[in-house]
Amino acid sequence: MKTKYDQNQIQDYIATYQLDQIFSQASAIPIQLRTYERNEIVLKEGDELDGIYFQVEGRTKVSSSIETGKALLLRFCHPLSVFGDVELIQKVVIQSQVEATEPTTFLFINKRTVETELMLDRNFLYELLKYLSYKLQTCTTASRINLLASVEERFASYLLTTRLQNEFGKEILTPHVPEIASLIGTTPRHLNRVIQKFITMNVLNKEKKKISILDWDRLDEISNGLRYE
């Protein structure tokens, strides 16, 4: 991790993402730039949170694990994303691991400033509520589909959701079968069987690990109207 206090760059990011609407007095808040390289851990599950992170550049991977060592991929995040909101409100340790998948930059505000100043700011709390409610909505929807739908329905829903390019569709978009399998709650082996089934049905084609859709209408029928959104 590299840190710096480049006020010009910080103000550029604040203007780009209209963060001045979140902080009533942005110029008075000690904001730090933190940059992480590819594969570097930003937040480690189980650690104490040191502050709130606003992702302004790059791409991150968010996952959650259990004591056996198995990890569940939750989403990929792009600017503007916020980390630390759940932990700050609930006063708990870091709940999910965040890893940079490419060089990624954050605006960082230390925990003390957040608790003593920003938590008293109505604009900040309102924005925090928006991010929290979005995470709750998308996690609830994904959990419901993954628990109640067949793998065929889940995969069809995944393909249709990522095609729509809504916000959560962008966050779960990946070309890698093992990552897709984790996102929809199955194993790569089972997902490969479903892919082969869809190929025989002339629903999709796969060449050199690249999947192309041949029949979106049939895929919609298989999904039974389910979407990860």
As annotated, the residues of the chain forming the CATH 1.10.10.10 domain(s) are: 150-223
For 150-223, which CATH class? Answer: mainly alpha
Q: Is the predicted pLDDT of residue 58 greater than 80, yes or no?
A: yes
pLDDT digits (tens, 9 = 90+) for 193-216: 999 999 999 999 988 878 999 999
Cβ atoms within 10 Å of 183's Cβ, excluding its own: 23
Please tell me the CATH code under which domain 2-144 is placed. Answer: 2.60.120.10
From CA 21, how far away is CA 196, in angstroms rounded?
A: 49
Quote the pLDDT of residue 65.
85
DSSP state, residue 46? T
Domain with CATH 2.60.120.10 in the chain: 2-144
DSSP conformational letter for 98:
E
Give the three-class secondary structure for 66.
coil
| Structure confidence by residue, pLDDT tens digits, 177-198 | 999 999 999 999 999 999 999 9
191 neighbors 131 (Cβ within 8 angstroms): no
| Tens-place pLDDT, residues 20-35 | 888 767 667 899 999 9
Contact 53, 84 (CB under 8 A): yes
